[in-house]
Chain A
Amino acid sequence: MTATGLPRWLFVPATLGLLFVVVPLVAMLLTVDWATFPSLVTSPASLDALFLSLRTSAAATILCILLGVPLAVVLARSSFRWISVVRGFVLLPLVLPPVVGGVALLYTFGRRGLIGEHLDALGIHIAFTTTAVVLAQTFVALPFLVTSLEGALRSAGSRYEDVAATLGARPTTVFRRITLPLVLPGLVSGSVLAFARALGEFGATLTFAGSLQGVTRTLPLEIYLQRETDPDAAVALSLVLILVAVVIVVAVYSRRKDRPL
């Protein structure tokens, strides 16, 4: 790949943009107190938060796949009139402040919420439980999976599906044996992105699920809390999240390049 034809001055703002992302990370790395780092990240509160985050994010990712794959397929393959409006609603959590999402969820699944009211009558309480954390994370992460997968479905096109159909395969067979395998790379990267977004979720979780250690206090909440009392612990935990994020980004983008599909 050569950079012929690129105006030279373009490299100045491009470098500034890169530095803008990298320098804060370096600044944080420089403040990490490596002597106390192991004990800070292995304190009971930290470990509780880390494992809760991993558990809820994994559950949210599975929920995103179960709901998001059908949604992406419908969005990519249907041509009914209001499809763009539907797509707009699906993407809404991307632009909505997470706190607003949390409030909305509270008015849906809270004790006096639209659905929560009826669930409450059945003895099911969702708000301020670990389930609420998973729902909040799913709410904000779903559009990441849907957009990523819808893009993959659109670029794959429906030609293979048409061929499969004329070869006598029923729609379910086509979906299972052709559609899904063809967009598997898109599904994997979409799921990883959704997992990463779930892992970083803060506003909706705090609003809808609260901050109870071991139950709803995920890693980002723990970091925010520690920042008040023990900044060193906050920095150490932030580093853990950065590490997870780096692993995810590398995993997704190195995969994409060597797939000539």
Chain B
Amino acid sequence: MSLTVRARVTARDVDIDLEVAQGEIVAVLGPNGAGKSTLLGVVSGLLRPDAGRVELDGRVLTDTATGVTVAPHDRSVVLLAQQALLFPHLTVAGNVEFAPRSAGAGRREARVRAVRWLREVDAAELADRRPHELSGGQAQRVALARALAAEPHLLLLDEPMAALDVTATPVLRSLLRRVLRDSGRTALLVTHDPLDVLALADRVIVIEAGRIVEDGPVRRVLTRPRSAFAARIAGTNLVTGTVRGEALESANGLVHGRVHDDCVPGTAAVAVFAPSAVAVYTDAPHGSPRNALRVRIAELEAQGSTVLVRSDTGIAAEITTAALADLDVHPGDSVWFVVKATEVGIHPAALRA
């Protein structure tokens, strides 16, 4: 076990028990004020729990029972927040050199390491700039380089993409994917975006009112959320498979959609589409819709004025109660699920089968 956290913070009504395996990336979901930042604060040592214990790679960082509190600078835990918070009085290189210098590296060695990490985040050409001369996306890339230059045992990502514009977000996401997943880092990722979860995480926990209310593999939490919060941001259809040209090859057949630029043919990806984008037919659809899947109905779930038609493959369709009455289908029946290719997004995935 790489990270174990047990923390109670009475003032914020937070009581959390969490274990994270070495090299695992855990997405932390939850409404604002639920206790996500409190969790990161306790782990980073910026916040002292009323009761609890934090252990990282066999080293006790916090233990209220024995009075152990390792200072934030001595934890090897680095936080990447929503704002890049680059030190405004230092250059980009000076920022990235900060951690190696603090750890006792000489000027020259710190510089070498800064250049290496800046190259890693495709920001080598920004080295001599000042933070106020950078765009939001550039600043966050530099902040990532600065965090990685500290060579932390654990990386805490607190909504790292929330403050970026729509063009910068996918760039940073694929960068994070490269530097986190490919190097097997352990990380906690607080986010609101299911795409971040899909691209980066192995596992999802959902925190509501200071408690972990859901904990499971990404695929399960996003497709069959048990908590209200996960249902609101997720509840989406995910089909895992392999990228083949302009489509995804899955156990359910070929799924066509808009293929994200980062997808490499032959690698793992996931097709994402909303249940409301799925139409249900009892007969084989006319014409040649690109995505028509033959499925068996597993269950029907009333949701106010609509009904969620769950299939045995896990894919769900959301149709009106009137439409369901017209179709007159029941669990066990075979039907066609039809989705327009334009409604399907195909994204690179971190999902492990």
Show the binding face of A for B, using Cβ within 8 Å: 159-160, 162-171, 173-174, 177-178, 181-182, 184, 260-261
Contact (Cβ within 8 A) B102 A168:
yes
B98 contacts partner chain A, Cβ-Cβ < 8 Å:
yes
Q: How far is the CA of A174 from the CA of B45 in the complex (A)?
A: 16
**A156, closest chain B residue (CB):** B88
Set of chain A residues within 8 Å of B88, measured between Cβ atoms: 182, 261
Q: 1/0 contact trace for B63-89 toward A, CB 8 Å?
A: 000000001111111110101010111
Contact (Cβ within 8 A) A165 B71:
yes
B256 contacts partner chain A, Cβ-Cβ < 8 Å:
no
B162 contacts partner chain A, Cβ-Cβ < 8 Å:
no
B140 → chain A closest CB, angstroms: 13
Could you name 24 residue pairs across A and B whose Cβ atoms are closer than 8 Å? A159-B83, A160-B87, A162-B46, A163-B79, A164-B87, A164-B102, A165-B71, A166-B45, A166-B73, A166-B77, A166-B79, A166-B150, A167-B78, A167-B98, A167-B146, A167-B147, A167-B150, A168-B73, A168-B74, A168-B102, A168-B103, A177-B98, A182-B87, A261-B88
**B41, closest chain A residue (CB):** A162
Known interface pairs A170-B102, A177-B98; A159-B85 also in contact (CB < 8 Å): yes
B93 contacts partner chain A, Cβ-Cβ < 8 Å:
no
B132 → chain A closest CB, angstroms: 8
B3 contacts partner chain A, Cβ-Cβ < 8 Å:
no
B2 → chain A closest CB, angstroms: 18
Set of chain B residues within 8 Å of A166, measured between Cβ atoms: 44-46, 72-73, 75, 77-79, 150
Known interface pairs A166-B75, A166-B77; A173-B46 also in contact (CB < 8 Å): no
Set of chain B residues within 8 Å of A169, measured between Cβ atoms: 73, 98-99, 102
Contact of B150 among A160, A162, A168, A170 (CB under 8 A): A168
Contact (Cβ within 8 A) B102 A167:
yes
* 5 extra A-B contacts, CB within 8 A, seeds A166-B73, A261-B88: A167-B150, A168-B99, A169-B99, A169-B102, A171-B71
A221 → chain B closest CB, angstroms: 42
Set of chain A residues within 8 Å of B99, measured between Cβ atoms: 167-169
Q: How far is the CA of A170 from the CA of B74 in the complex (A)?
A: 8
Set of chain A residues within 8 Å of B73, measured between Cβ atoms: 165-171, 174
**A178, closest chain B residue (CB):** B87
Q: How far is the CA of A166 from the CA of B150 in the complex (A)?
A: 9
B74 → chain A closest CB, angstroms: 8
Set of chain A residues within 8 Å of B150, measured between Cβ atoms: 166-168
Name the residue among B72, B75, B76 with the largest chain A CB count within 10 angstroms: B72
A185 → chain B closest CB, angstroms: 11
Q: How far is the CA of A182 from the CA of B74 in the complex (A)?
A: 23
Q: How far is the CA of A166 from the CA of B147 in the complex (A)?
A: 9
Task: Please provide the 7 A-B residue pairs with the shortest distance between their CB atoms, ordered closest to farther.
Answer: A169-B102, A165-B72, A167-B99, A181-B89, A168-B102, A165-B73, A166-B79
Contact (Cβ within 8 A) B89 A165:
no
Chain B residues 90 to 132 lying within 8 A of chain A, measured CB to CB, are 98-99, 102-103, 132
Q: How far is the CA of A174 from the CA of B46 in the complex (A)?
A: 14
Set of chain B residues within 8 Å of A260, measured between Cβ atoms: 132
Set of chain B residues within 8 Å of A170, measured between Cβ atoms: 73, 102
Q: How far is the CA of A171 from the CA of B74 in the complex (A)?
A: 11
Set of chain B residues within 8 Å of A165, measured between Cβ atoms: 46, 71-73
